[in-house]
């Protein structure tokens, strides 16, 4: 799922997102709608995973990303990040939610 189109502070040349300099956030209602349909799947398959990627997911902030993740029950969350915004507070947030992290190599 793509929480935002925004990718800061980078502008990687390989990026496929045309609106990466504009902040368009996924509405909470979209996450709720997706969660309402996939939560049943996660009960049947504990390996069900929601991957947050595209733009820079961390650029929405911890509070907003937490609100996007909240409707999901029993799913494994993973974030694909360029890690530029990763700090101790983000590490605590991700650890508290048992979120797996994948890193992409930034390129300017």
Question: pLDDT tens, 41-54?
Answer: 777 776 788 999 98
Distances (CA, A) of 23 to 1, 55, 98: 15, 9, 26
Residue among 97, 91, 84, 102 at smallest CA distance from 8: 84
Looking at the domain assignment, is residue 13 inside a domain? no
76-101 tens-digit pLDDT? 999 999 888 999 999 999 999 999 99
Count of structural domains within the chain = 1
The pTM for the full model equals: 0.87
With respect to residue 10, please indicate whether it lies within any of the assigned structural domains.
Answer: no
Given a cut of 80, is residue 29 above it in pLDDT? yes
Q: Does residue 5 belong to any structural domain of this protein?
A: no
Count Cβ neighbours within 10 Å for each residue of 63-96 and write b for 16 or more, e otherwise.
eebeebbebbeebebbbbbbbebeeeebeebbee
DSSP helix/strand/coil, 3:
coil
Examine residue 46 and state whether it is found in any structural domain, yes or no. Answer: yes
Note whether residue 80 is domain-resident: yes
């Amino acid at each position: 799922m793509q929480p935002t189109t925004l990718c800061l502070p980078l502008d990687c040349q390989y990026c496929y997102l045309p609106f990466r300099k504009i902040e368009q956030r996924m509405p909470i209602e979209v996450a709720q709608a997706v969660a309402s349909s996939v939560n049943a799947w996660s009960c049947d398959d504990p390996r069900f995973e929601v991957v947050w990627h595209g733009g820079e997911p961390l650029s929405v902030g911890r509070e907003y990303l937490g609100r996007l993740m909240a409707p999901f029950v029993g799913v494994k969350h993973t974030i694909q990040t360029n890690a530029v915004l990763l700090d101790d507070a983000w590490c605590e947030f991700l650890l508290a939610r048992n979120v797996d992290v994948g890193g992409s190599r930034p390129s300017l």
